[in-house]
């Protein structure tokens, strides 16, 4: 699979306040814009935000089941895009390839493309609407410590985060 974003025709408008879906909040903090995922759906349409009591800066976590190295557990991710904080099952070695699973249905998250940085990591989908459309999703990496993710709404990238962190 290749990168699911048509980069030749990609248009980033900067109209983040125009996002019409209620599952992404765009908070204006002066010169900084903060994108918060308020709803994220698994492959069967189960909402994965707020299914635990874990919060980050007052925002309910996005919860996934992660299988890695013969172990599994719940990982609570910060819903603030670009925030690498996590809670729960986090003692996983950086670089470990993980299976990302919906903790409600038990189904694996769908793979939506490769991350073209030579890491071998892939993007996996959390949908922003219960319609489970590729037009609106959060794409997360399946490699632990590989901080790449995107938020796409109406096929437009509204937030892209790719950071390199020392292991």
Supply the pLDDT for residue 110: 96
Of residues 157 and 151, which shows the higher confidence score?
A: 151
pLDDT tens per residue across span 109-124:
999 988 888 888 899 9
Inter-residue contact 138 to 82 (CB < 8 Å): no
**Interval 19-41 mean pLDDT:** 62
Inter-residue contact 76 to 90 (CB < 8 Å): no
Percent of the chain with pLDDT over 70: 69
What stretches of 16-163 show up as alpha helix (H) in DSSP?
none
Confidence label for 160 from pLDDT (cuts 50, 70 and 90): low
Residue 32 pLDDT exceeds 80: no
Distances (CA, A) of 67 to 22, 41, 56, 115, 151: 30, 19, 23, 20, 23
Supply the pLDDT for residue 23: 53
pLDDT tens per residue across span 101-111:
999 999 999 99
Q: pTM of the predicted model, to two decimals?
A: 0.75
pLDDT tens per residue across span 43-86:
999 999 999 999 998 999 999 999 999 999 999 999 887 788 99
Supply the pLDDT for residue 117: 81
Confidence label for 29 from pLDDT (cuts 50, 70 and 90): very low
Residue 104 structure tokens = 């409600």
3 state SS of 7 = helix
């Amino acid at each position: 699979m290749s990168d699911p974003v048509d980069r030749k025709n990609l248009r980033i408008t900067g109209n983040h306040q125009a996002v019409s879906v209620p599952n992404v909040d765009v908070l204006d903090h002066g010169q900084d814009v903060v994108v918060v995922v308020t709803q994220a759906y698994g492959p069967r349409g189960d909402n994965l935000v707020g299914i635990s009591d874990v919060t980050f800066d007052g925002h309910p976590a996005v919860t996934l089941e992660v299988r890695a190295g013969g172990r599994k557990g719940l990982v609570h991710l910060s819903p603030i895009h670009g925030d690498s904080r996590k809670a729960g099952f986090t003692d996983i070695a950086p670089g470990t390839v993980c299976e990302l699973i919906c903790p409600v249905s038990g189904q694996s998250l769908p793979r939506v493309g490769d991350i073209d940085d030579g890491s071998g990591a892939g993007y996996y989908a959390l949908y922003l609407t219960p319609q489970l459309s590729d037009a609106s999703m959060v794409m997360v990496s399946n490699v632990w410590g590989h901080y790449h993710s995107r938020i796409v709404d109406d096929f437009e990238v509204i937030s892209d985060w790719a950071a390199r962190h020392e292991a």
